[in-house]
Structure 1
Amino acid sequence: MTGPRANASQRRILYIDCYAGIAGDMMIGALLDLGLPEAHLRARLALLGPLDYELEVRRAARHGIVGTDVQVHLDVPLKATGAWSFTPVASTSAPFTSLKEHGHGRRYREIRALIGDSGLSDLEKRLALAIFDRLAVAEGKLHGISPDEVHFHEVGGVDAIVDITSAAIGLAWLAPDEVVCAPLPVPRGTVKCAHGTMPLPAPATLELMVGAEVTAIDGHGEWVTPTGAAIATTLATRYGTIPSMAITAIGYGVGDRDPPSRANLLRLIVGTAPSAELASDVVLETNLDDSTGEAIGYLTERLLAEGALDVWVSPIVMKKGRPGVTVSVLTDPGRRPHLERLLLSESSAIGLRRVPVERYKLARRIETVESTFGPIRVKVAFEGETILNRAPEYEDCRRAAEAHRVPLKDVFADVLRTMGKP
């Protein structure tokens, strides 16, 4: 699956279908199930040096669906400051709230040195460090300390290092041009961690979800772990339903639990799509002259949350010289009926216009740049083999600016300088 594309005009897309959540071990299992050679993974992990663990890989089923189950067994006694996995316990608020914690905690600077000094490839290092960097920034913000000084209670153990590095190895092997992630599921309940009992999502997980799409689900317990959230939000270039593509491979990663409500599986779907795509879409428009700014802002947020490709508001002058706005909604034909109903129900409009359009989309991929302020993802747009544009990801730049207490524009400028772009 790796190597040069048979057709240079095709781009590879990875879809993370986390309908039942995501954890580090589930990601490893799904990558192996997708085709990542186990021998390759073990050989690359060995480059980290001796970490006193054993990787168990086996086939397992959830609700009749067979996938790959991965367990990281540690050769050290259980501790109260390690990485977690699920353990079901009796609870009036949630059937799965207890956590089995093990492994030795480490500060981020120690983890960074461990990975940076290893024999992994530059790409594998960048991906692994980018994931850990998101964790460090999230934890540092919660506790009011520098990311370098963060001591990872829940994700600092050997198993988390193996989980995150394995995800980086798998992504480097797969080499997708784009990673799309389904909305992250958020259930009800509480979780027990080193900081005590906390509502779900756990504080670090919730902080990592900033900028991501989430969806509420029925059920209790933790479906997205901090490690899983860090992996998904670092790798994803966007969120939503599965994109248009020709499916080439599917992998299932098995989770620790087997609840009756849904199969505890992480599904990775790989496909190909043309490098530049011509899409037939629809623009919905309506004119408003009696809505408040708050109402229009709310309408815009709702339309985007419900799947609109883009929404914009333009000032106009209507009949009798009344100032107003045109609300324009770009959508694919499949979502058009739903967004039309939403546009009419959430505004004072009594009608709208449909304008068929063709939308030409450049291919894009995400690259990680090692800036002065840490790893920053950069969106690269290209046509064929020609790169036409590069743009640093805003959320990464914002987090770096907050973590290092520097102006946002300084982070953007540093990334552009690192890329050699004036």
Structure 2
Amino acid sequence: MKNLYLECQSGISGDMTLSALIDLGADMDYIASQLKKLPIDPFTMDVKQADKQGISSKQLVLQFDEVALAHEHVHTEASSVHSHSHDHHSTHHHDHPHRHASTILRMIEESDLPERVKQRSLSVFEVIARAEGKIHGMDPSEVHFHEVGAMDSIIDVIGVSLALENLEVDKIIASPVPTGYGKLMMAHGLYPIPAPATAEILKGVPLADFQVEGELTTPTGAGFIKALVSDFGPLPAMRIEKIGYGAGKKDFNHPNVLRAVLFEAEDRANVESITVLECHIDDMAGEAMGYLMEKALAKGALDLYYTPITMKKSRPGILITLLCKPEDALRFEDLLLKETSTFGVRKSKWERNILDRRFQEVDTPYGTVSVKIGYKHGDIYKITPEYEDIKEISIKHHVPFNKVYKLVEQIAAEQIMN
């Protein structure tokens, strides 16, 4: 389990984060090759060294196919929402294309990206979509993005998620975040800093009192903080493995860099953080609760279960408990609010100690059966036959489920332990 600390002394943006993770050791070739599998415009990615007030940092350099961007811009300009400023990474000067939120989310969901990369990318885009929707008074799925929909920001969000996966980062901690102050010219006119979307996203996030004129934290950077960070505070008391610096495009009287620090957690490889969401209901049909469970598990919930409880005025009710990864908490809070009759969802952070797991095929009189092996430090703790395999054998051969289960369990133990 690796922990990442984002020291946002100078704020945070999409390109600063990706640059810092590349400086930390994320494989840029891996990131670029995964991105190029997506249905997006052709691009090249590179980094250069930049000196920011004496700190040598990596700075992202993206270049896009001018013809493709200009062509798409012609077809999308009229229907786009220009919500805020964005970071220009490439050397071109055309406006970036505008993309519909649902199109971006669907592209990620239908991609072959690693599952955790998908979940982290979706979480960031959904956080920003909700903020944009509120600012512009529309459903988040109907928002047309300028910054977030532009090619460079799509690359930032998915690229950062790929970099986190490449570095095997499990938990992200961050310092309080400065926003800067002043005014910024946007498509709708002169806006205050932080930009409306940035301010909306940062609700509930600790802010740093660092008074610098200019935009320090962008909506994309704020999206990373809100969607992916599980804890805020000072540098944790753990052994540092690597440090990376990502340079921003602007120059200030202070080093405009994001420092990313990678830690190896202290012998807690099998301990992971999870988020527990709960709510009480007393007026939902059983079919609706069954539908909720199916939908939550299909969307990646770690578990969901129902507990009978007694509510106020001695009313019988149900406690819904949903377990999920911290980065998925916002998505599942929204799911519970939409799909249940509750008016509020409670959230808490837990830790769980889990066994390492692997699957193995074993030979039985009924054919090959898959079993799940739970182990720790090389020692096998348990061997569990897969339910679907046992069910299929039981039905096909007209043998009681428990009899098949026990036989497979015994055979698997003999084959694997010996």
Equivalent in the alignment of 2:241: 248
**Do 2:157 and 2:220's aligned partners in 1 also have CA atoms closer than 8 Å?**
yes
- 1:153-179 superposed Cα distances (whole Å, 9 cap, x missing partner): 232111110110101101112222321
Percent identity over paired residues: 30
Per the TM alignment, residue 12 of structure 1 is displaced from its structure 2 partner at its CA by 1.8
The one-letter amino acid of 1:365's match is S
Equivalent in the alignment of 1:341: none
The one-letter amino acid of 1:118's match is S
How far apart are the structure 1 equivalents of 2:228 and 2:344? 24
Q: How many residues align?
A: 297
**Matches for 1:136-147 after TM superposition, within 5 Å:** 136-147=129-140
Among candidates 51, 54, 57, match of residue 41 of structure 2: 51
Q: Which entry has the higher C-alpha Rg, 1 or 2?
A: 2
Equivalent in the alignment of 1:311: none
- 1:337-373 superposed Cα distances (whole Å, 9 cap, x missing partner): xxxxxxxxxxxxxxxxxxxxxxxxx944358999659
- 1:161-202 superposed Cα distances (whole Å, 9 cap, x missing partner): 011010110111222232101101022201222232111111
How far apart are the structure 2 equivalents of 1:127 and 1:160? 14
How far apart are the structure 1 equivalents of 2:189 and 2:296? 35
How far apart are the structure 2 equivalents of 1:246 and 1:399? 34
Q: Does 1:133 align with 2:121?
A: no
How far apart are the structure 2 equivalents of 1:141 and 1:378? 29
Among candidates 106, 111, 115, match of residue 113 of structure 1: 106
Equivalent in the alignment of 1:3: none
How far apart are the structure 2 equivalents of 1:108 and 1:195? 20
**Do 2:3 and 2:169's aligned partners in 1 also have CA atoms closer than 8 Å?**
yes
- 1:313-350 superposed Cα distances (whole Å, 9 cap, x missing partner): xxxxxxxxxxxxxxxxxxxxxxxxxxxxxxxxxxxxxx
**Matches for 1:200-279 after TM superposition, within 5 Å:** 200-260=193-253, 262-274=254-266
Equivalent in the alignment of 1:13: 3
Equivalent in the alignment of 1:179: 172
Aligned to 2:46, what secondary structure does the other structure show?
strand
Q: CA RMSD in A?
A: 3.6
How far apart are the structure 2 equivalents of 1:21 and 1:375? 32
Among candidates 61, 82, 104, match of residue 71 of structure 1: 61
Equivalent in the alignment of 2:402: none
How far apart are the structure 1 equivalents of 2:21 and 2:176? 19
Per the TM alignment, residue 229 of structure 1 is displaced from its structure 2 partner at its CA by 0.6
How far apart are the structure 2 equivalents of 1:176 and 1:224? 23
Equivalent in the alignment of 1:325: none
| Structure 1, unaligned runs of 5 or more | 1-10, 88-99, 278-361, 380-388, 414-422
| Structure 2, unaligned runs of 5 or more | 278-293, 304-321, 348-418
If the length of structure 2 is used for normalisation, what is the TM-score? 0.63
How far apart are the structure 2 equivalents of 1:409 and 1:391? 20
**Do 1:251 and 1:269's aligned partners in 2 also have CA atoms closer than 8 Å?**
yes
How far apart are the structure 2 equivalents of 1:206 and 1:27? 19
- 1:233-271 superposed Cα distances (whole Å, 9 cap, x missing partner): 2110011111110000001111101211x1011110011
Q: Does 1:61 align with 2:54?
A: no
The one-letter amino acid of 2:266's match is P
Among candidates 58, 64, 85, match of residue 87 of structure 2: 85
**Matches for 1:388-407 after TM superposition, within 5 Å:** 390=323, 396=330, 400=334, 404=338, 407=341
User: Are residues 86 and 191 of structure 1, via their aligned partners in 2, closer, same or farther at CA, if it must alter by over 3 Å?
Assistant: farther
Aligned to 1:178, what secondary structure does the other structure show?
strand
User: Are residues 55 and 244 of structure 1, via their aligned partners in 2, closer, same or farther at CA, if it must alter by over 3 Å?
Assistant: same
Per the TM alignment, residue 50 of structure 1 is displaced from its structure 2 partner at its CA by 4.0
Aligned to 2:242, what secondary structure does the other structure show?
strand
Aligned to 1:135, what secondary structure does the other structure show?
helix
Name the structure where strand makes up a greater proportion of residues. Answer: 1
Name the structure where helix makes up a greater proportion of residues. Answer: 2
- 1:29-77 superposed Cα distances (whole Å, 9 cap, x missing partner): 1111000112111111111134133323212211121111102223234
- 1:274-319 superposed Cα distances (whole Å, 9 cap, x missing partner): 3569xxxxxxxxxxxxxxxxxxxxxxxxxxxxxxxxxxxxxxxxxx
Per the TM alignment, residue 126 of structure 1 is displaced from its structure 2 partner at its CA by 1.2
How far apart are the structure 1 equivalents of 2:31 and 2:103? 23
Q: Does 1:34 align with 2:36?
A: no
**Matches for 1:333-352 after TM superposition, within 5 Å:** none
User: Are residues 397 and 127 of structure 1, via their aligned partners in 2, closer, same or farther at CA, if it must alter by over 3 Å?
Assistant: closer
